[in-house]
Amino acid sequence: MYLSKGIVAAFFFVVFLRGGPLAHGQLTPTFYDQTCPNVSSIIRNVIATELASDARIGASLIRLHFHDCFVNGCDASLLLDNSDTIASEKDARGNINSARGFEVVDRMKALLESACPATVSCADILAIAAEESVVLAGGPNWTVPLGRRDSTTASQDAANSFLPAPFLTLAQLRESFTNVSLNNNSDLVALSGAHTFGRAKCSTFDFRLYNFNGSGAPDPSLDPNFLAALQQLCPQGGDGNVTTNLDLTTPDVFDSSYYSNLQANRGLLQTDQELFSTVGADDIIALVNTFSANQTAFFESFVESMIRMGNLSPLTGTEGEIRLNCSVVNANLAGPDSSLVSSI
């Protein structure tokens, strides 16, 4: 099921940010129409090529967009490497040995620098890559508002504070969404649906299998057959880097099966199952039931929430910069690229 770009375009054709349109600029889906008209197709082709050898790359790329936007807004700060002045967000608890796909983003950036030098921001690359990844997995499409610029700094401390951990309760999840100005019901449930594809390591959920909340017993919300399968995959004291599908039904397809899994007590992460198994969370449970029964409703809500998340505190106008290399601020570049820095 695909959503027409025309259907959703009215929702955000021009998105005004921060203090208003006159104060800080705007995002618009036509931002690169004249300066880099092939930006989306270049990004799509890289993802399609990568999918041939890495079925999980789409989920990994959308996760980069999530983890970027949750930390001081959608400014590609996540992509910056360590330097004398930057403690990389890549080393934050929620990213280290977990976030992946950086080298794919680098390939996108290199191709875009060849086609449209010093034009497309790394923040916009993440936003477009998220949408293209969903479409290539069979999910909805949407017209991505563009015009973000890249930060010149990062905050590992903020990443440690704001990225939701896989062991949060529903109350804590709600708070984490409220903290970044997202809805703690509709955005929370819709964006969690991105776990309809991708993988997770045993280390992110094995506490549910043996000693949930220090009880010495498994998480009682786990379906017994699912529990037995996970215990076989992730034995106590085993390799925490072993991965398994977030969605055991259609692991590489973007659909509503994630919510059906929750109804069957087969959510892999605690933060997944909390959406359906938390006593008294009637508004959240109702959304899970709606999205399980009506995939179109899920797709429409997901698109709205992705656009809302993508609009979190972007840098626009003359703020920030257009990085020439996504992992390095322009001031630290050396070599042939450095000659372009003064112009962007």
Residues 6+ apart with CB under 8 A from 13: 28, 29
For the record, the structure tokens of 243 come out as 């991965």
* CA angle centred on 112, ends 100 and 59, rounded to 5°: 25
Q: Which residues pair with 146 in a beta bridge?
A: 28
Q: Is 67 a catalytic residue?
A: yes
Q: What does the DSSP assignment read for 249-302?
A: SSTTS-SSHHHHHHHTT--SSHHHHHHHHSTT-HHHHHHHHHHHH-HHHHHHHH
Q: b/e per residue, 143-179, with b = 16+ CB within 10 A?
A: bbbbbbbbbbebbbeebbebbbebbbebeebbebbee
Spatial CB neighbours of 66, under 8 Å, sequence gap ≥ 6: 130, 191, 194, 309
Q: Which of 24, 65, 67, 195 is catalytic?
A: 67
Residue 245 φ/ψ, nearest 5 degrees: -70, 135
- 134-138: long-range contacts (C-beta < 8 A, 24 or more apart)? 134/58, 134/62, 134/254, 134/302, 135/2, 135/44, 136/44, 136/47, 136/48, 136/51, 136/58, 137/58, 137/59, 137/197, 137/252, 137/253, 137/254, 138/253, 138/254, 138/255
What is the set of active-site residues? Answer: 67
